[in-house]
A and B are shown apart, each in its own frame.
Chain A
Amino acid sequence: MKRKIILSFFLLFPIFAFLLSLCIGVYKIPLLAIIKIIVVKTIETATFGKLSFDLNPYPTVYQTVLLQIRLPRIIAAMLVGSALAISGAVLQATFRNPLVDSYIVGISAGAAFGAALAIGFFPASVELMAFIFAMIAMTLTYSLAKIKGRVTVISLILAGIIINAFFSALTSMLKFLMEHEKLAAVVYWLMGSFNGADWNVVSRIAIPIILGSLAIFLMRWHLNVLSMGEEAQILGIDVGKMRLIYISIVSFITAISVAHCGIIGWVGLIMPHIVRMAFGPDHKTLIPLSIAIGAGFMVLADDVARALTTFEIPIGIVTTLLGIPFFVYLLRKTGGEW
């Protein structure tokens, strides 16, 4: 019973966060107007415009702010939040390591370098370059971490630190060489932000992230088996092949997120832990609930980023500041033993 209550809380959380975020913003819109516009637009969309209503008493700027500014930004934040949370959960399982996510193993830094390279110097697809370098970074981290055929919790983290530093240095080099107009945009983008998230961005990230997440969602139970490590082989699992599949998918959705919204740390690391503390480690529940709270958390963090002060705070800063106290709590509670 108690489990069901917590479960529904987890599942309702992103919906609550979504509705709340629509109401939050620098531009003040009366709550009643927001509700009316949402209801009307939902009905219109659901009936493919066959039913339409007059929203005349409200200035059109209300609709513009809600539908052209807040809504796409909220959707982008939710997509990226769930992508990062899934990535964290998958990497933690495949490496049997509760302390990793796509940021720590260097996937994000690799993706950022690839994207910066495409933005500044190569007229190539930003997403593709981000993905290629995300995979390169992951491969480098993994090979560095492998000592005498084994990857330990610590060796993987240390290798991640090295590869992070390496790609950050390369990205700094690119910034140094970049033209001035591009530089400002790149610097701001790298700190992580949903500021530029319009419908165009949503249309470019939605399909890859939804497909990638769906694939992981469908394959989620086998993450349990893969978290047995090499031993999974005796249960009939091709460990090397399965690891490659899972890691490629999460590198892909991370790369898409980084290419459009920059590096956002800590979300991927912490979301799976919150779910594990409430529901245990079974990936049958861990994956869907990580998606739910990853989406909800990210959109709330973005509310803080855009509405707490009169200027926009990069969201990477917000998630880090929110994430660190939680991580300290986790470390203290478990005494560092997972």
Chain B
Amino acid sequence: MVNSEVELEVKLDAKLEVKNLRFKYNGFELLASLEVKKGEILTLLGPNGSGKTTMLKCIYGILKPKAPCIYIDGEDLHSMSLKNRAKKIGYVPQIHHPSFPYTVLEFVVMGRASQIQVFDSPGEEDYKMAMDALKLVGIVDLADKPYTQISGGQLQLALIARALVQNPEVILFDEPTAHLDFKNKIKISNIIRKITLSKKTATILTLHDPNLAGMYSDKIALIKGGRIYSAGKPEEVLNEKVLGDVYEMRVRVVDVDSFKLIIPDPTY
């Protein structure tokens, strides 16, 4: 376990709240209220341009809504210093542009930046945490490899490991499966679930695949035109009516061995 002491301090009812988020961009208004508990996965699902990623960026504070609206355990996230925010919330970006060929370990340990004074460098403890995070995501054997020379799936895992060493209470994933193949999608999703359960993080994802969302989410919010069209447990919202409305196409939900498979209707 990574730093069990810090984890004990986390309140049992820790949660992330989005209260009346209101953000205008490109002549388009985003409105949302959400809640994610510790150890829970919430997925934002919706078509391209619906505002999922913008919502994620507003929650993180990369984009700043005018009024305070994001709370972690009742504490206003956007009024925190960057340092304190990074201790509470981790963000796994969809795309990363590498600069210099750092080793995977050096790259992951950068997640400790918020806890390391400016005149200081990471110590043994920090490197140990980075190694533990690499073990958790399953790429510890790549620790000494330049992170510019690993595959896209492995880079995604390294990004997740970097967010993990921040010891966050909330982790945001921006389309974590976007550039991955069939197998790696499942692999990454399993790791996200593992992290959420073992680290008791409040996890928010944006996804494009409703089946994947159905398999891994505790809650799903369907987004359309910057609004939450419908939100709830997967079985409540992933039905033909709601999905059809959100994606503006005909969708069929088929039972396959008690699993609800969502398939688009190509004739539509």
Contact = CB atoms under 8 A, between A and B. Distances in A.
Contacts of B106: 224, 280, 282
A228 B99 CA distance: 7
Interface string A203-225: 00000000000000011111011
Interface residues of A, number: 28
A2 to B, nearest CB: 14
A281 interface: yes
A167 B101 CA distance: 35
Contacts of A234: 60, 62, 86, 90-91, 93
A237 interface: yes
A235 interface: yes
B53 interface: no
A229 B111 contact: no
Interface stretch (B9-17, B115-123, B240-248): B115-123
A44 interface: no
A225 B113 contact: yes
B230 interface: no
B96 interface: yes
A284 interface: yes
A238 interface: yes
A98 B101 CA distance: 12
B216 interface: no
Contacts of A236: 82-87, 113-114, 166
B102 A280 contact: yes
Contacts of A96: 99-100
Nearest to B109: A224
A306 B91 CA distance: 56
A227 B85 contact: no
A181 B118 CA distance: 48
B103 interface: yes
Interface in B197-237: none
A232 interface: yes
B110 interface: yes
Interface in B98-153: 99-103, 106, 110-111, 113-114, 116, 118-122, 146
Given A96-B99, A219-B119, A284-B121, A231 B86 contact: no
B62 A221 contact: no
A231 B97 CA distance: 9
Contacts of A93: 99-100
A233 interface: yes
A281 B99 CA distance: 10
A234 B101 CA distance: 20
A98 B100 contact: yes
Interface string B164-199: 001000000000000000000000000000000000
A260 B27 CA distance: 55
Contacts of B84: 236
A257 B149 CA distance: 38
A280 B93 CA distance: 25
A234 B110 CA distance: 11
A38 B252 CA distance: 89
Interchain residue pairs A-B with the least CB separation, the first 3: A236-B114, A236-B86, A281-B100
Interface of B: 60, 62, 82-87, 90-91, 93, 96-97, 99-103, 106, 110-111, 113-114, 116, 118-122, 146, 162, 166
7 contacts: A233-B62, A233-B82, A234-B86, A235-B114, A236-B85, A242-B118, A280-B103
Given A93-B100, A235-B166, A236-B114, 14 more contacts: A93-B99, A219-B119, A220-B121, A221-B120, A221-B122, A234-B60, A235-B110, A236-B113, A237-B114, A280-B101, A280-B106, A281-B101, A284-B121, A338-B100
